Every structure is written in C-alpha cells, then in structure tokens.
C-alpha cells in the first residue's frame, strides 16, 4: 500500500476522513485515518492524558490504486472545494516516512506516551514506548511539561513534533484520560504495566527499570476541555 496525505482545514480532519469512508468505494483504499498522540497534562493534582492530533490539517490514506482514488476523491465535496481553490491536497508519503510512522504509532494510529528514566541531571538513561524508535531524533527535552521535541521527515520536509512522556513520579500518582480530539475507542483509564513495581522502586535510590506502556480498562473519569 502506498501512503498519501490529504490536506484539509485544521479541525475538519475527522469530518473528511468520515466522508471518505462513506463515499469512496472500499476497494480503492486500505485505511483512511488521522494520526493522534498522547500528551500528559497536570491539572489540579491530577495527571490527565490528552489525545490530540499530531499533524493538524492532515488526513492519511493508503491505496494500491492512487490514480483511481484521486479521481474518486474529486467527487467528495470537501476535497472538490479544496481542489477547485487550487490547493495541493493529495500528497505522496515516502516509504521511509510511512515506515517510521508505523513504528511509533499503534493500531489505532495513536502515538502513546513514552516512559523516560533520567539520571537526575536531565540525561536520559532508559526509554520505553514509541521514543525507543527515535531517541537519536530528540532535539529537546522538556521534563516539566512532559514532552520532548522530535525531528522527523514528512512529505520530503523536516518537521518537529512534540511527543508526550511520562516519568516515574507520574506513574506513582496515576494517570487518567482527559480531553480527546480522537474519534476512536480508548480505555476508560490509563494504566502502565509495572506501575506497582515502580511505586516500590520509587523509595529505593538507584533502582533501574524500563517500562512498557500498556493501556488497560479501569475506572471511568471524564476530562474537562
């Protein structure tokens, strides 16, 4: 399958993806989706995992028949208007770029939180989660804001994106889902595999362990936007 990006107005990504799923014959494409990411927000002594778009204005679509798909997309009202305005809105994604995105996102096209362990001086000692695949591409770490700045290539251009991280103290306090831009099914509570072990490790200096992040069902907590 070849990957393409459909450009649309920010905030209308899910609407366009929904139109395509309803109006475009299934044999012309494989998947049509928006890429999301998880970011940790700390509000009122709570750790809330917000889900937001990684690439505002971008909808991804895969196809073995791009020419036939393109002509069919011209009949989709939202795409037809953009094309009529002369905007370039059907862009090819290089295989290497697509392969990288597939490595860092899950089956729901969400880039999850990565667990970072530091040495106390801001230096990364261990990493688990999506960032394992792009440690060398980290440009800047902002531990206080719980994200890192990562440089990647998309549509032939270098871009920088913020990817969410979680630290040991966050796991000890617990994580819950908050605001979501995604129209996908997600667990009602965010859990981390090995959280109990980390709580015990937190009281011992020098303890070292890399965690694999995993989402498991639990108590429902509604976030506020």
Looking up tokens 């206080």 gives 144
CB of 80 closer than 8 Å to CB of 74: yes
pLDDT of residue 77: 81
Kindly report, residue by residue over 46-87, the tens digit of the pLDDT. 778 888 999 999 999 999 999 999 999 988 887 876 676 556
Rounded to an integer, the average pLDDT of 5-17 is 92
Kindly report, residue by residue over 97-112, the tens digit of the pLDDT. 999 999 999 999 999 8
Helix (H, G, I), strand (E, B) or coil at 150: strand
Residue 156 reports pLDDT greater than 80 = yes
DSSP state, 94?
P
pLDDT of residue 172: 67
Taking the C-alpha atoms of residue 207 and residue 214, their distance in angstroms, rounded to an integer, is 21
Rounded to an integer, the average pLDDT of 174-188 is 57
Residue 95 vs residue 122, higher pLDDT: 95
Looking up tokens 């208007």 gives 81
Give start and end residues of each alpha helix (H) in the chain.
Answer: 13-23, 66-73, 77-84, 95-104, 168-173, 195-201
169 — pLDDT class (breaks 50, 70, 90): confident
119 — pLDDT class (breaks 50, 70, 90): confident
43 — pLDDT class (breaks 50, 70, 90): confident
Q: How far is CA 14 from CA 34, 183, 190, 218, in A?
A: 7, 7, 23, 27
Q: Are strands 114-118 and 157-166 parallel, antiparallel or unpaired?
A: parallel
């Amino acid at each position: 399958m070849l990957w393409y990006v459909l450009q649309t107005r920010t905030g209308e990504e899910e609407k366009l993806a929904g139109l395509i799923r309803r109006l475009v014959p299934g044999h012309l494409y494989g998947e049509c989706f928006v890429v999301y990411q998880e970011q940790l927000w700390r509000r009122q002594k709570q750790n809330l995992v917000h889900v937001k778009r990684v690439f505002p204005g971008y909808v991804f679509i895969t196809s073995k028949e791009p020419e036939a798909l393109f002509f069919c997309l011209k009949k989709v009202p939202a795409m037809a208007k953009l094309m009529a305005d002369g905007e370039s809105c059907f862009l090819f994604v290089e295989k290497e770029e697509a392969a990288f995105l597939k490595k860092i996102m899950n089956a729901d096209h969400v880039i999850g939180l990565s667990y970072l362990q530091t040495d106390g001086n801001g230096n990364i000692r261990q990493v688990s989660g999506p960032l394992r695949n792009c440690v060398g591409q980290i440009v800047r770490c902002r531990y206080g804001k719980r994200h890192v700045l990562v440089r990647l290539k998309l549509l032939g251009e270098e871009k920088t994106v913020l990817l969410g991280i979680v630290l040991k103290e966050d796991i000890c306090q617990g994580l819950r889902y908050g605001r979501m831009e995604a129209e996908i099914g997600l667990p009602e509570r965010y859990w981390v595999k090995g959280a109990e072990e980390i709580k015990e490790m937190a009281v011992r200096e020098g303890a070292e362990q890399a965690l694999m992040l995993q989402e498991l069902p639990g108590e429902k907590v509604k976030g506020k936007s």
